[in-house]
Chains A and B, each alone.
Chain A
Amino acid sequence: MVVTSAPTPDSKLDLDRDDLWAAARGDEMAFESFVIRHEASVYRFVQSLGSVGADADDALQETFIHAWRAASTYQGTGSARAWLLSIARHVVYRAGRRHAGEPAEFDSLESIAQRAGWGDESEVRARADDRARVVQDALQRLSVADREILVLREIQELSGDDTAAALQLSLPAMKSRLHRARLRLTSVLRETFRNEDVA
């Protein structure tokens, strides 16, 4: 089993902070630099939360409008990307009048692990290319709460602290939710492969 290091601190942290603080003083070029660095990341994130087409475009625009207006409130203590993605999250939930990422139900870790295959050694393990083939569909089948934390941590590669900040959770609460989301994703993959075997 490969142990991975936690994502490294954002190397653009200082650049982002300087650009945001310059933007707060009205520096449009600095803000444009910030937009260029993060627009694709925000676009992917709002899409992962369910915004598509014109809704995704609107969410992208609203996110950067809010960031421009609120640049002076960025404290520079966490990564600017986490701050920006937190804004994007609120924009998407407000637009869709969705309930911001709260888990819909509470399952014991043991029951989640069982559904994810813990203790079942009868199954043939999935191949890496099969996992890669279905994992994005599996991600979309998760709850918004599970999906957003996996996107922030695994795809956007925010640190644990920044993920917690973006979701307005304590670090222990974030870690607990992340762990469950990882197991649920494994569970959905397992279910997908079992259905393929039956079909």
Chain B
Amino acid sequence: MTNLDRSVAGVTCREVLFELSDYLDNALSEQRIAQLRAHLDGCTTCLRFGNDVAETLHALRVSAAQPVSIPPRTASALRARLTLERTAHNRARDPT
């Protein structure tokens, strides 16, 4: 394994590894993003790894992007159960 303490552009590979998710989520300050980007520009190891993680997450999102519909029988059973629940609730509230 390459040395995680290697410093490129004033940032170590370990720092990139620990902050990678925040970087991908754009959850860091602009200044910090610029610092990590400078490291990635000069470190093929971190760039390659970051791309692997980013592309894996992209694949996960794409794989789940198609609309989900529930089976009609499942939807009907849900409505029937909710109707029962409401009926019981209303009877309990107003026994007459």
Binding site for B on A (CB under 8 A): 1-6, 28, 31, 35, 39-41, 43-44, 56-57, 60-61, 64-65, 68-69, 109-110, 113-114, 116-121, 125-126, 128, 131-132, 135-136, 139, 150, 154-155, 160, 175, 178-179, 182-183, 185-186, 189-190
Chain B residues, CB < 8 A from A190: 52
- In the complex, the answer to whether B58 meets A2 with C-beta atoms within 8 Å is yes
Partner of B22, one of A2, A65, A118, A175: A175
Binding site for A on B (CB under 8 A): 1-2, 4, 14, 17-18, 20-27, 33, 40, 44-45, 47-64, 67-70, 74-75, 77-78, 81-82, 85-86, 89
Partner of B78, one of A5, A35, A113: A35
B78–chain A nearest beta-carbon distance, Å: 5
Cβ-Cβ contact count across A and B, 8 Å cutoff: 141
Chain B residues, CB < 8 A from A40: 67-70
Chain A residues, CB < 8 A from B59: 128, 131-132, 135
Q: Which residue of chain A lies nearest to B18 when distances are taken between CB atoms in the complex?
A: A109
A126–chain B nearest beta-carbon distance, Å: 8
- In the complex, the answer to whether B56 meets A131 with C-beta atoms within 8 Å is yes
| Main DSSP-derived SS at the A contact region | helix
- In the complex, the answer to whether A4 meets B17 with C-beta atoms within 8 Å is no
- In the complex, the answer to whether B74 meets A57 with C-beta atoms within 8 Å is yes
B42–chain A nearest beta-carbon distance, Å: 14
- In the complex, the answer to whether A65 meets B74 with C-beta atoms within 8 Å is no
Given the interface pairs A118-B1, A121-B44, the reply to whether A135 lies near B26 with Cβ below 8 Å is: no
- In the complex, the answer to whether B33 meets A113 with C-beta atoms within 8 Å is no
Partner of A43, one of B17, B60, B70, B82: B70
Given the interface pairs A68-B85, A119-B2, A121-B44, the reply to whether A2 lies near B54 with Cβ below 8 Å is: yes
Chain B residues, CB < 8 A from A65: 81-82, 85
14 A-B pairs within 8 Å (CB atoms) are namely A1-B40, A2-B58, A40-B70, A61-B81, A69-B85, A121-B44, A136-B60, A154-B61, A154-B64, A155-B61, A179-B21, A185-B57, A186-B52, A186-B53
Q: Which residue of chain A lies nearest to B2 when distances are taken between CB atoms in the complex?
A: A119
- In the complex, the answer to whether A3 meets B23 with C-beta atoms within 8 Å is yes
B25–chain A nearest beta-carbon distance, Å: 5
Chain A residues, CB < 8 A from B75: 39
Given the interface pairs A65-B81, A154-B60, the reply to whether A121 lies near B48 with Cβ below 8 Å is: yes
